[in-house]
Amino acid sequence: MKRFLALLATCATVLGLTALTGPQAAAAAGCRVDYTVSGQWQGGFQAGVRITNLGAPLSGWTLGFTMPDAGQKVVQGWNATWSQSGATVTAAAADWNRALATGSTVDVGFTGSFTGANPRPTAFTLNGVACTGSVEEPPPAPDDGTPVGINGQLHVCGVNLCNQYGRPVQLRGMSTHGIQWFSRCYNTASLDALAKDWRSDLLRIAMYVQENGYETDPAGFTGRVNSLVDMAEARGMYAVIDFHTLTPGDPNFNLDRAKTFFASVAARNADKKNVIYEIANEPNGVSWAAVKSYAERVIPVIRAADPDAVVIVGTRGWSSLGVSDGSNENEVVDNPVNATNIMYAFHFYAASHKDNYRAAVSRAASRLPLFVSEFGTVSATGGGAVDRASSTAWLDLLDQLKISYANWTYSDADEGSAAFRPGTCGGADYSGSGVLTESGALLKSRISTPDDFPTS
């Protein structure tokens, strides 16, 4: 059901096993740097670095700092070109994040090794200027009015997704495209727009496993996913971590990779309230029994570290409850996954999947907890014209049934399903009518309507 673009981009980053909170490193009259160790293990660690430009706009930038201990080394970095000579570390802007307007931020990071102590750097420079400025940006408070602030830890109750008050809720949001191709679309400006202007409840993070994805750099992609989870959390949005299996369609092909990946991200994010795990994007060419077997081997890995989070299980026929393979929801109803606090994925593309698919969802919604973790307003290829009538019928049905959804795709891909016109990403505007496609304008108009989250 998916489409590919042979584009090149950079993504990467690292394995974080525990969340450590530390003091923020000071940054400059022209800049500020916040340095956070987000995971540490025997001989290794992961660090995130947020750069805030407090001076004139920059068309290019290089961050510099000195490792305070001789045993500390950068192993692999992301969102910048990293190098180290002796104790001196530099991180130069990537092509897609070179422009840094006054007041804007960019998030970079790296995995490192250490042999002695692991103290934090305290002196940073940006283009040779010492970063000593300060900006107050407190994390969201529990009652901050954001989706996570209101609803807290989610759970499945009956056939519904429920909030901390035990009341059914519907989350509405957007999915990334493949982060190996469209990393430039997921930055401070775009996620601020998604949270504040689009009023999105969630960000689905589509991490392809094949297609130049996770299998090429497990540590780097794990780190990039964790970084986006943090960015969603900082804005009060839920994050769906999508293990985006597509080709081959049998998720058991990636069973060992899934266990490794989910053991890492579940351990690292276990204390967060905003994380939902989607363990297999679109199983295809495989039986429901095989998908169920995979789920029953991966879910215990997540539960060992994170017993409370909701898990989404993909279904047969490109997550169509088997409908695209000539079956229906009964195969899941009659043989459910042996696990609790789970939901079943349903995907559709409005121009290709119409009344018979909507009928299946209507029937299944009273028997199974469903989550539409991906859908498009166009054809199943990801291209073609927006089918407004079918899209509206689908969205009205999901609203009526309180089924949560993420739209494909919050990107500027050159295809009909993209929310933005080509060339939008890397700029500052992710909300104006001039940058939105027909699909983007339709989804923004639906998502930005006020939520009605019950609190009693």
Instruction: Say how far residue 425 (Cα) sits from the centre of its chain.
Output: 16
Residues 379 and 307 in one domain: yes
CA distance 138 to 284: 44
Same domain membership, residue 391 and residue 267: yes
In a domain? residue 16: no
- Do residues 246 and 307 both lie within one domain? yes
Q: What is the pLDDT of residues 376-429, one digit of tens each?
A: 999 999 999 999 999 999 999 999 999 999 999 999 999 999 999 999 998 899
Q: For residue 4, is it within any domain?
A: no
One domain for residues 243 and 118: no
**What pLDDT shows up at residue 131?**
87
Q: Has residue 323 got a pLDDT over 70?
A: yes
As for how many domains the chain has, the answer is 2
Higher pLDDT, 21 or 189: 189
Q: What is the pLDDT of residue 241?
A: 98
Cβ 92 vs Cβ 58: under 8 Å: no
Which among 61, 96, 130 is the end of a domain? Answer: 130
Task: Please state, in angstroms and as integers, the Cα–Cα distance from residue 17 to each residue in 41, 219, 262, 307, 446, following that order.
Answer: 7, 12, 11, 16, 37
19 falls within a domain:
no
Mean pLDDT of 325-354: 97
244 three-state secondary structure:
strand
Say yes or no to pLDDT of 177 above 80. Answer: yes
Q: Which domain holds residue 53?
A: 31-130
67 in the same domain as 152: no
Task: Kindly state the tokens that stand for 62.
Answer: 């290089």
Question: Is-catalytic flag, 374?
Answer: yes
> At 118, is the secondary structure helix, strand, or coil?
coil
- Do residues 86 and 195 share a domain? no
Q: Residue range 169-179: average pLDDT?
A: 98
Residue of 233, 282, 329, 331 marked catalytic = 282
- pLDDT higher than threshold 80 for residue 140: no
Say if residue 381 is in the same domain as residue 233: yes
Say yes or no: 264 and 198 in one domain.
Answer: yes
122 and 234 share a domain? Answer: no
Q: Which of 43-52, 100-109, 135-144, 229-238 has the lowest mean pLDDT?
A: 135-144
Q: Decide if 178 is inside a domain.
A: yes
For the stretch 276-309, pLDDT in tens is 999 999 999 999 999 999 999 999 999 999 999 9
| pLDDT over threshold 60, residue 133 | yes
The more confident residue out of 445 and 456 is 445
How many C-beta atoms surround the C-beta of residue 156 within 10 A?
A: 16
Place of tokens 């080394």: 73
Examine residue 20 and state whether it is found in any structural domain, yes or no.
Answer: no
Sign of the Cα pseudo-torsion (397, 398, 399, 402, in order): positive
280 lies in some domain: yes
What proportion of the chain, given as a percentage, has pLDDT over 90?
71
Backbone angles phi, psi at 96, to 5 degrees: -85, -10
Stated length of the chain: 456
Looking at residue 120, its pLDDT comes to: 86
pLDDT value for 89: 93
Q: What is the pLDDT of residue 275?
A: 98
CATH number, domain containing residue 329: 3.20.20.80
Output the pLDDT for position 391. 98
Q: In this structure, are 289 and 396 located in the same domain? A: yes
- Do 73 and 200 share a domain, yes or no? no
Examine the residue annotation and report whether 136 is marked as an active-site residue of this protein. no
| Average pLDDT score over the chain | 89
In a domain, 108, yes or no: yes
User: pLDDT by residue (tens digit) across 41-79?
Assistant: 778 887 888 888 888 888 999 999 999 888 899 988 878
Structure confidence at residue 29 (pLDDT): 53
| Of 233, 278, 329, 374, catalytic | 374
In a domain, 3, yes or no: no
Q: What CATH number does residue 73 fall under?
A: 2.60.40.290
Query: Which of 78-87, 110-119, 310-319 is the most confident on average?
Result: 310-319
- Provide the pLDDT for residue 11: 33
pLDDT band at residue 143 under the 50/70/90 scheme: low
